[in-house]
């Protein structure tokens, strides 16, 4: 059965309507069309239509049957059969055609239609017709399979794995539902649709193009430019539709969905934020140039223009410098804004068989800002060193080899799934482990840095001196960034060494958020790049006394000075775009004209303004750091002004690259192309005189309608004057618009030249960005100066809050002396009405350990956090919340606070405690500050006391670090007797209220206490946990039982302690002492 009729005759009701619906008023060449005829005609038109996705092979095959359709629709009057009812007639020729169409086209009718009698002389019943149609469909289906195999267009011969491209169970279109398929394979449409069944193995030209692109980028969601929209195909479409909440439908062979072109950056950012790699495929041909070429009848060529992941959101398509305020004002409030840090981290592991030690190398890069971090360190089975560095860098994407160790995989799994929201999860990319081998990585690094040129580029010799684990990271990272055209950032001469020791527990808010953290207190910056630098200052305090002193001098001068110069600098830094990200985008040659103009104009304005302030800066500012920052910056920004002068402001803001350059003398190619366009325009304007003479209309002028230019508009009443060779372009009831043959030729040439000019302008624009990139390191240094200035102004704002002092930093003294210290975040949150209770701290070489006890919720944890934060602020160069502070330089602050398990790493709460304690034991020195909060509480009382006692004694006797130890274990307070010169007991003061005995009962009432939050010498006898239970609204019946049981246990413990104390005082021998302890059930 021919495919042209199969679709129209597949339904039983269509046949019955056709047999009963022919009109008697048909002519010799045709019959009056009824609904069934219209259905046949639509089927023919649909199958022979030439749309964007039609297959030329398919159309040629079906067009052979068109004549048969026409014969079917046009019967002869001589062969009509007149019906006795309703005046209806039936054409015998039509019945013969139906007979032949119902059977197979290649002679199958002889097999199915050999019946006794003329069964077609009258209309058969519907049951017979249905049976014959079904039989013919089965035979035709077998014939289709043979044809496809002979033509070699089956899906298997495409050489493409559908498990990469399309999901199983694809949705059906129209009346056919989605057919199920094997897992991971393309699911063909339902067999009820003839066209779908036919198209499941014949791909349209666009689909073939998409398949080829998908083979090259199997791990990316491809957004393919198709005119005014971007389309996703196959499984990409299903994923995009789910993430973007848009409609996905079946079109030909694949599921598809689309997004408008002007919303590309919104949807790409949203897909990337959910962890996907997104590729943007653009048309590389223009319509006018294609129309004049040899391939004018072929499909538009398309190529991958950009790839994006969480760490590589740099480019014109994703608008990297848009700020949140600008986005909201522009009506795009649903756009995903860049995170504060977007580091890409590469990790390698190297196992030394001789030393039996694992060495981990890492390189972290932020392509949007140009920051590069590297490190190499040994690590144990717990991967605590690696975990600390990952938490400090806080990457959004991690690059690892495919053969990563199981311990590291568990660690990355726990980090990647730490957040419940997909936007906050870390994306992990696995690469071929061969790229991480030293020989392969070294070849990549050597080839890359041999071509490094320009000022500020890192030399090959300096890179080759790096540790081998770092080289093993650098090679794969270069290859990965080359896929995104972002590898140039690795040529920077400034690499930063990182370490694992963070202050997250002490400096962050307890809920992990920003509010209440140290950064929240200190960050009053005005620029995005200043905000990022402030984060670095908090996480990397200084250890050089001179650098600390220079920052303190700068903050003090800003705080005490009333100079208008500093106020002018402060106002200059306000409302600036993200200059750091902007110049990085320019350096990668991915900047738009709008972005470039915004960045270059901002830099130029800053340079000119600071240049006018130079005399005042040199005469009014005494701080060495402030003077160097403000004096050096104008000279560094000079190149920005020269590049800005070349641009046409209006064209740059509109994104018009054809008029972007105000002076074309430096662009000979553009100058020549512009002259060609001007020449053609002159010819067209000269032709206007000939048109006026032809139409005898001296005032006639060209008009433009709907994008069509140089139209000759003539009233319809004067259409007789139009030469016959003119081409009508459009018309209305009143006028018609024409192009003369000369205009047709010249206008076509003009369009070609314009599009060629656009391509030339794009090439020149890329070259222009490359020239600006030669000054990248100079500009980055200037922006670094501005960021430092912004941070110093922010620290001065903090110091103005009141009761802050400039700490004295002592290089050679190991001490922490704080008078009236306060927790800056809690002090700010409480406000002026609820004053924070200040406390003193005194730790020196001899009295280097404080054991802190006291009731629950008494303020112990807040106090030790306060000490850590004040030390960090002092080494940042900031003022501190105290009346007086004298601090030594610390090489690290190590904290063990809180209690939580880690399911992904298979660690219990107690295991987490001991792992962190082990890390502190390994790294702490006598110049460190160690803070341990309730170590040992994750296990039984006896084991907890034993571990806490032994650990604390180790820090007192061996490490000799300054130590704050919070505990609820009274036996630990005995260490003050063992080491009286080095250990002091303190507790948080409280008032004990006597229980109410007016009830007349003998029940023991739990105590009620009032917190004083004052650090006091001496150890607390109890923790008063029942008081917290009362505050938590535990029922009184439970509290009474708990109070009685607590009293019994307390009496028992006191009795044992008294017995022990008595025995020790008697100074008996060891054997007799142990025997008496056994009798008292104190030892076993």
The pLDDT tens digits of the residues spanning 349-359 come to: 998 888 888 99
Distance CA 313, CA 484 (A): 10
In this predicted model, what pLDDT tens digit does every residue of 812-829 receive, in sequence order?
888 999 999 999 998 888
In this predicted model, what pLDDT tens digit does every residue of 743-797 receive, in sequence order?
999 999 999 999 999 999 999 999 999 999 999 999 999 999 999 999 999 999 9
Among 134-148, 583-597, 820-834, the least confident range: 134-148
Q: Tell the CATH topology of 157-329.
A: MutS, DNA mismatch repair protein, domain I (3.40.1170)
Domain ranges of the chain: 3-151, 157-329, 344-500, 542-704+741-800, 808-1032, 1035-1084
Among 120-129, 209-218, 449-458, 585-594, the least confident range: 120-129
Based on its alpha-carbon atoms, the radius of gyration of the chain, rounded to whole angstroms, reads 41
- Given a contact cutoff of 8 angstroms between Cβ atoms, the answer to whether 862 and 796 are in contact is no
E-assigned strands of 870-961? Answer: 884-888, 892-896, 928-933
How does residue 182 score in pLDDT terms, banded at 50, 70 and 90?
very low
- Residue 1048 structure tokens: 């019994």
Q: Which distant-in-sequence residues (6+ apart) come within 8 Å of 222 by Cβ?
A: 210, 213, 214, 232, 233, 236, 279, 281, 304
> HSE-up of 782 (CA within 13 Å, CB side)?
25
Among 439-443, 460-464, 970-974, the least confident range: 460-464
pLDDT of residue 857: 81
Q: Which distant-in-sequence residues (6+ apart) come within 8 Å of 114 by Cβ?
A: none
pLDDT of residue 190: 39
SS3 993: strand
Distance CA 514, CA 520 (A): 6
Backbone dihedral angles phi then psi of residue 21, each to the nearest 5 degrees: -125, 15
- Given a contact cutoff of 8 angstroms between Cβ atoms, the answer to whether 204 and 221 are in contact is no
pLDDT of residue 52: 40
Domain 808-1032, architecture per CATH: 3-Layer(aba) Sandwich (3.40)
Q: Tell the CATH topology of 344-500.
A: Nucleotidyltransferase; domain 5 (3.30.420)
Q: Which helix (H) or strand (E) holds 825?
A: helix 824-830
| Residue 897: pLDDT over 80 | no
pLDDT of residue 517: 87
Q: Which distant-in-sequence residues (6+ apart) come within 8 Å of 188 by Cβ?
A: 170, 179, 181, 196, 197, 200
Distance CA 75, CA 85 (A): 21
pLDDT of residue 383: 87
Cα–Cα distances (Å) from 1069 to 735, 976, 977, 1065, 1080, in that order, read 126, 25, 21, 11, 17
Among 310-314, 739-743, 855-859, the least confident range: 855-859
Q: Which distant-in-sequence residues (6+ apart) come within 8 Å of 239 by Cβ?
A: 221, 232, 276
| Residue 193: pLDDT over 50 | no
How does residue 971 score in pLDDT terms, banded at 50, 70 and 90?
confident
pLDDT of residue 112: 37
- Cβ atoms < 10 Å from Cβ of 678: 10
Nearest to 29 by CA among 90, 83, 71, 89: 71
Q: Write the DSSP symbol of residue 928.
A: E
Cα–Cα distances (Å) from 689 to 58, 90, 469, 682, 756, in that order, read 50, 64, 77, 12, 29
Q: Which helix (H) or strand (E) holds 735?
A: strand 735-739
E-assigned strands of 892-994? Answer: 892-896, 928-933, 962-966, 983-993
| Residue 1008: pLDDT over 70 | yes
- Given a contact cutoff of 8 angstroms between Cβ atoms, the answer to whether 968 and 853 are in contact is yes
How does residue 573 score in pLDDT terms, banded at 50, 70 and 90?
very high
Nearest to 308 by CA among 282, 285, 277: 277
Across the chain, mean pLDDT equals: 77
Domain 542-704+741-800 in this protein, CATH class = mainly alpha
| Residue 158: pLDDT over 50 | no
Average pLDDT, integer, range 43-55:
38
Nearest to 230 by CA among 321, 166, 317, 338: 317
Average pLDDT, integer, range 249-267:
93
Q: Which helix (H) or strand (E) holds 411?
A: helix 406-416
Average pLDDT, integer, range 489-513:
60
How does residue 1044 score in pLDDT terms, banded at 50, 70 and 90?
confident
- Per this entry, what is the length of the chain? 1084
Q: What is the pTM of this model?
A: 0.73
How does residue 164 score in pLDDT terms, banded at 50, 70 and 90?
very low
157-329 and 542-704+741-800: identical CATH topology: no
- 433 burial type by CB count under 10 A (0-12 exposed, 13-18 middle, 19+ buried): middle
Higher local confidence (pLDDT), 601 or 59: 601
pLDDT of residue 454: 54
Distance CA 380, CA 53 (A): 58
Q: Percent of the chain beyond pLDDT 90?
A: 44
């Amino acid at each position: 059965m021919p495919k042209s009729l199969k679709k129209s005759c597949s339904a039983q009701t269509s046949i019955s309507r056709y047999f009963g619906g022919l009109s008697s008023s048909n002519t010799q060449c045709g019959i009056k069309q009824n609904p069934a005829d219209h259905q046949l005609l639509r089927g023919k038109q649909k199958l022979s239509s030439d749309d964007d996705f039609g297959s030329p092979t398919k159309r040629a095959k079906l067009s052979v049957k068109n004549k048969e359709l026409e014969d079917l629709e046009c019967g002869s009057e001589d062969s009509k059969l007149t019906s006795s009812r309703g005046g209806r007639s039936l054409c015998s020729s039509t019945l013969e055609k139906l007979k032949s169409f119902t059977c197979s086209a290649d002679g199958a009718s002889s097999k199915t239609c050999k019946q006794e009698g003329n069964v077609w002389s009258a209309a058969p019943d519907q049951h017979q017709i249905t049976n014959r149609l079904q039989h013919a469909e089965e035979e035709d289906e077998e014939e289709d399979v043979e044809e496809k195999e002979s033509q070699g267009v089956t899906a298997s011969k495409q050489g493409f794995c559908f498990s990469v491209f399309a999901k199983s169970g694809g949705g059906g279109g129209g009346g056919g539902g989605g057919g199920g398929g094997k897992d991971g394979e393309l699911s063909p449409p339902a067999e009820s649709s003839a066209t779908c069944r036919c198209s499941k193995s014949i791909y349209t030209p666009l689909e073939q193009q998409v398949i080829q692109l998908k083979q090259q980028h199997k791990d990316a969601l491809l957004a393919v430019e198709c005119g005014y929209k971007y389309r996703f195909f196959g499984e990409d479409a299903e994923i995009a539709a789910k993430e973007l909440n848009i409609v996905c439908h079946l079109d030909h062979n694949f599921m598809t969905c689309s997004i408008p072109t002007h919303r590309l950056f919104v949807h790409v950012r949203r897909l990337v934020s959910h962890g996907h790699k997104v590729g943007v495929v653009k048309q590389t041909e223009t319509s006018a140039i294609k129309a004049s070429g040899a391939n004018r009848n072929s499909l538009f060529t398309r190529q991958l223009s950009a790839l994006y992941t969480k760490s590589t959101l740099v480019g014109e398509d994703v608008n990297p410098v848009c700020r949140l305020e600008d986005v909201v004002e522009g009506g795009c409030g649903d756009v995903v804004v860049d995170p504060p840090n977007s580091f890409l981290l590469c990790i390698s592991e190297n196992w030394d068989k001789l030393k039996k030690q694992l060495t981990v190398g890492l390189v972290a890069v932020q392509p949007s800002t140009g920051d590069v971090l590297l490190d190499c360190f040994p690590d144990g089975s717990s991967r605590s060193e690696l975990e600390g560095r990952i938490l400090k860098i806080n990457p959004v994407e991690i690059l690892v080899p495919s053969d990563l160790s199981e311990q590291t995989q568990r660690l990355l799994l726990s980090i990647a799934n730490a957040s419940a929201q997909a936007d906050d999860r870390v994306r992990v990319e696995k690469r071929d482990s061969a790229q991480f081998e030293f020989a392969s990585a070294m070849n990549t690094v050597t080839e890359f840095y041999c071509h490094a040129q320009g000022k500020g580029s890192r030399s090959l010799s300096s890179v080759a001196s790096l540790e081998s684990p770092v080289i093993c990271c650098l090679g794969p990272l270069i290859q990965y960034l080359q896929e995104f055209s972002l590898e140039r950032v690795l040529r920077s001469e400034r690499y930063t060494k990182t370490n694992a020791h963070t202050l997250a527990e002490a400096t962050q808010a307890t809920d992990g958020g920003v509010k209440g953290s140290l950064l929240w207190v200190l960050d009053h910056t005005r620029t995005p790049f200043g905000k990022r630098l402030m984060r670095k200052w908090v996480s990397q305090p200084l250890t050089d006394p001179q650098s600390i002193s220079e920052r303190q001098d700068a903050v003090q001068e800003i705080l005490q000075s009333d100079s208008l110069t500093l106020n002018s600098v402060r106002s200059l830094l306000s409302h600036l775009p993200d200059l750091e990200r902007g110049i990085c985008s320019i350096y990668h040659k991915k900047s738009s004209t709008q972005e470039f103009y915004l960045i270059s104009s901002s830099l130029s304005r800053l340079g000119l303004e600071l240049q006018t302030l130079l005399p005042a800066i040199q005469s009014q500012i005494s701080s060495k750091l402030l003077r160097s920052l403000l004096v050096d910056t104008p000279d560094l920004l000079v190149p920005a002004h020269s590049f800005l002068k070349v641009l046409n402001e209006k064209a740059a803001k509109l994104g018009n690259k054809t008029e972007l350059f105000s002076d074309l003398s430096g662009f000979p190619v553009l100058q020549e192309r512009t002259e060609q366009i001007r020449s053609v325009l002159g010819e067209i304007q000269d032709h206007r005189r000939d048109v006026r003479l032809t139409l005898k209309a001296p005032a006639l002028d060209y008009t433009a309608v709907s994008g069509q230019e140089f139209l000759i508009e003539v009233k319809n009443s004067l259409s007789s004057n139009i030469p016959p060779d003119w081409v009508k372009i459009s018309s209305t009831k009143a006028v018609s618009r024409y192009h003369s043959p000369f205009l047709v030729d010249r206008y076509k040439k003009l369009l070609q030249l314009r599009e060629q000019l656009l391509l030339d302008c794009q090439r020149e624009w890329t070259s222009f960005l490359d020239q600006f990139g030669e000054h990248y390191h100079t500009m980055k240094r200037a922006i670094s100066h501005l960021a430092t200035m912004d941070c110093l102004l922010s620290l001065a704002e903090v110091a103005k809050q009141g009761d802050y002092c400039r700490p004295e930093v002592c290089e050679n003294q190991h001490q922490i002396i704080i008078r009236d210290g306060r927790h800056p975040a809690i002090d700010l949150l409480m406000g002026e009405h609820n004053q924070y209770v200040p406390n003193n701290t005194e730790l020196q070489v001899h009295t280097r350990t404080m054991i802190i006890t006291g009731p629950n919720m008494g303020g112990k944890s807040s106090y030790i956090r306060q000490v850590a934060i004040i030390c960090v602020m002092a080494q940042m160069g900031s003022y501190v919340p105290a009346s007086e502070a004298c601090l030594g330089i610390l090489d690290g602050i190590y904290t063990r606070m809180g209690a939580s398990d880690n399911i992904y790493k298979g660690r219990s709460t107690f295991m987490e405690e001991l792992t962190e304690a082990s890390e502190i034991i390994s790294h702490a020195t006598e110049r460190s500050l160690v803070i341990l909060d309730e170590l040992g509480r994750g296990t039984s009382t006896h084991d907890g006391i034993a571990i806490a006692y032994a650990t604390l004694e180790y820090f007192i006797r061996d490490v000799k670090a300054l130590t704050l130890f919070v505990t609820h274990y009274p036996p630990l307070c005995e260490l003050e007797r063992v080491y009286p010169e080095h250990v002091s007991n303190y507790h948080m003061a409280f008032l004990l209220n006597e229980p109410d005995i007016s009830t007349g009962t003998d029940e023991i009432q739990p105590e009620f206490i009032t917190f004083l939050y004052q650090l006091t010498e001496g150890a607390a006898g109890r923790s008063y946990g029942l008081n917290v239970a009362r505050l938590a609204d535990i029922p009184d019946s439970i509290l009474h039982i708990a109070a009685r049981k607590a009293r019994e246990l307390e009496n028992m413990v006191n009795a044992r302690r008294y017995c022990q104390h008595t025995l020790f005082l008697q100074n008996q021998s060891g054997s007799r002492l142990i025997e008496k302890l056994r009798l008292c059930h104190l030892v076993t």
